[in-house]
Amino acid sequence: MGADIGEILTKEEIGLQRLSSKIIAIDAHNTLFQFLSIIRGRDGRPLMNRQGKITSHLSGIFYRTCNLMSYGITQVYVFDGRPPSFKTREIRERSERRGEAQRKYEVALERGDLEEARKFAQAAARVSDEILSSGEELLRLMGIPTIVAPSEGEAEAAYLAARGLAFATGSQDYDSALFGAPVIVRNLAITGRRKLPGKKAYVEVSPELIDVDISLKNIGVSREDLVTIAMIVGTDYTEGIKGIGPKKALALVKQGVSVDEIYSQRGLEKPENFEEIKQFFMKPPVVEVKEIKFVEPDREKILEFLVDKYDFSEERIKKAIEPVIHMSERKRSGLGRFIS
């Protein structure tokens, strides 16, 4: 879910060409979930090979990565490590929501309501260990560096951007702003024409760029204040205060109302671990990285992996990968940096 603070941040709609020659540190779990949710059949079932193994995420990774690379956009995928102990409640609730969505999906499918079935199937999507490992293997074959964070992937991605090893983080959530990312790019995985849920209408989804430093300057708060605002509204680690959205939380913080007062005025007790969680956002555990190495895609192994193992169309894979390999060969001398 992440912190719902988007409405107080300054967003700019951009084209992919704006990110040419830039490195984006992508939240792997978040992006894989997007692919699993979106890339489905009319009845809500994900794409699968002949053995029944899910391939929606592989399709998303491959074609989207090729598309971004064609714009000269370099990607680094960051995978989650061990979640912090105070995320247990959120993980449990997510699991319960997925289970309920799965039950509603089966009911909708049984009565032949495909639109409802697809909606619930998307909500029931789960990034399994197999999806993570197969996704990471494909990225490796495509020459895309991967990093496993000690804890939250968005924190590691934010660290890479803050260190200047990446231009921005890539995620649908805003949490990397709390972890210190200077720039966030949203909608990288879902750019294009998308159907509005429950309606016979479509919208064009474009990448959004959020300059966090400019956003903080515009709303007149510090990053630490932004963390406080997010925690009051609700994060993966804290339950938000009912009736307080990001704009109201922003106003209260700017007025100098303390967190204790905000809770007590509503007859609530501030969570005991509030300061611990705040410090986790301000100084999250990360893997220190000195350099990032990018290697050329392995054409033959990509074909073996996607075509032979997962039943992708050989013709389509070759058509998509050839321009990328050609571009990679031309840039061979310019990307020799290493992940420590």
DSSP 164-215: TSSSEEE-SSSHHHHTT-SEEEE-TTT-EEEEPTTSS-EEEE--EEEEHHHH
Please, which residues have CB within 8 angstroms of residue 189's CB and are 6 or more apart in sequence?
A: 31, 34, 35, 38, 60, 64, 172
Q: How far apart are CA 288 and CA 118, in angstroms?
A: 41
Q: Are 123 and 55 in contact (CB under 8 A)?
A: no
Q: How confident is the model at residue 296 (pLDDT cuts 50, 70, 90)?
A: confident
Tell me how far CA of residue 62 lies from CA of 27, 146, 206, 270, in angstroms: 16, 15, 19, 45
Helix (H, G, I), strand (E, B) or coil at 339: strand
pLDDT tens, residue by residue, 155-178: 999 999 999 999 999 999 999 999
Degrees, nearest 5: CA angle 326-134-96: 135
Identity of the highest mean pLDDT range in 182-186, 188-192, 236-240: 182-186
Q: Are 46 and 105 in contact (CB under 8 A)?
A: no
Tokens 């020799």 label which residue? Answer: 336
The predicted model gives 204-219 an average pLDDT of 93
Tokens 């611990």 label which residue? Answer: 276
Strands, sheet with 168-170, edge to edge from the N-terminal-most edge strand: 11-13, 208-211, 183-186, 168-170, 23-27, 74-79, 146-148
pLDDT tens, residue by residue, 75-91: 999 999 999 999 988 88
The predicted model gives 38-58 an average pLDDT of 94
Going by CATH, does the domain composed of 6-215+287-334 fall within 3.40.50.1010? Answer: yes
pLDDT tens, residue by residue, 20-44: 999 999 999 999 999 999 899 989 9
Characterize the bridge pairing of strands 208-211 and 11-13: antiparallel
The predicted model gives 232-244 an average pLDDT of 93
Q: How confident is the model at residue 143 (pLDDT cuts 50, 70, 90)?
A: very high
Q: Over 70: is that where the pLDDT of 195 sits?
A: no
Closest CA to 77 of 13, 11, 9, 169: 169
The predicted model gives 176-204 an average pLDDT of 78
The predicted pLDDT at position 327 comes to: 75
Residue ranges per structural domain of the chain: 6-215+287-334
Q: Over 80: is that where the pLDDT of 197 sits?
A: no
Closest CA to 29 of 62, 2, 8, 63: 2
The predicted pLDDT at position 190 comes to: 73
Q: Are 20 and 211 in contact (CB under 8 A)?
A: no
The predicted model gives 280-301 an average pLDDT of 93
In this structure, what DSSP letter does residue 136 have? H
The predicted pLDDT at position 339 comes to: 40
